[in-house]
Amino acid sequence: MRATEWMAAAGVFASEEKPDGGHHTVPLVRAPNGAPVIGFAGWSGSGKTTLVTQVVAALTAKGWNVAVVKHAHHMSDIDHPGKDSWRHRHAGARQVVVASPRRWAVIYENQNQTEAPMLSELLAALRPCDLVLVEGYKRAAIPKVEVWRGETFGPALWPEDTWVFAVATTPDLRAKLSCNRLMLPLENPDAIAMAVVDLIRRSTVTVKMKAPFTR
């Protein structure tokens, strides 16, 4: 079954209108390692982490090598007090590499930096993979799926963000939401994973705009 047919069967809805002056094409963006980059954006509490986890599971089950970059507002220690890596870092090491046969990690320490690293810096640090999913960085210039559960969590991003190519939301909101983006079923992560794969295969996705878009 073709991806577009699978999406239709899964309840993913897209406009069949041909591009004109009222449309905008969202291009595929790639990391320095060549992997396509797809973002999942939304306000805190909207369920981004749950959805990204489900999409990762769906894609890895199909053989994809997936990397995830997550933006955290409050960074808690990833190693615990008393552990060797913690002791090295607190002794003054700015970079600590912890390695085992099955897993390794690099910890960068920069106490003078007040803002999170730029997404481009993090993407440049990734090893080869098939796909990068970015959770957070909702203002980044990358194709994004917006996770939206209504105005209770915050205003929708898609009316102002032309990089949002799809909105994943609940059945009740899909039924009443007036949205000119691809509508994805939040309750069906497999369908969302297939929508991501379809974008990668197409290299671009066309979204209908209220007015002609210019950069």
Written as one string, the DSSP assignment of 82-135 is TSHHHHHHHTT-SEEEEE-SS-EEEEE--TT--SPPPHHHHHHTPPS-SEEEEE
Return d(Cα 154, Cα 45) in angstroms, integer: 10
- Over residues 139-166, the pLDDT tens digits come to 899 999 999 988 777 888 988 898 999 9
- pLDDT for 25-82, tens place per residue? 888 999 999 999 999 999 888 889 999 999 999 999 999 999 999 987 665 666 778 8
CATH number of the structural domain 3-72+116-208? 3.40.50.300
Domain ranges of the chain: 3-72+116-208, 76-114
Place of tokens 């930096």: 113
| Mean pLDDT within 132-138 | 92
Of all helices (H) and strands (E), which one includes residue 171? helix 171-176
CA distance 43 to 119: 18
User: Among all chains, which residue has been given the structure tokens 């897209």?
Assistant: 14
The pLDDT value recorded for residue 85 is 86
Write phi, then psi, for 200 (nearest 5 degrees): -65, -40
Q: What is the pLDDT of residue 32?
A: 95
Judged on CB neighbours under 10 Å (0-12, 13-18, 19+), 192 is buried
Q: What is the model's pLDDT at position 31?
A: 94
Instruction: Find, among 65, 86, 47, 59, the residue nearest to 198 by Cα.
Output: 59
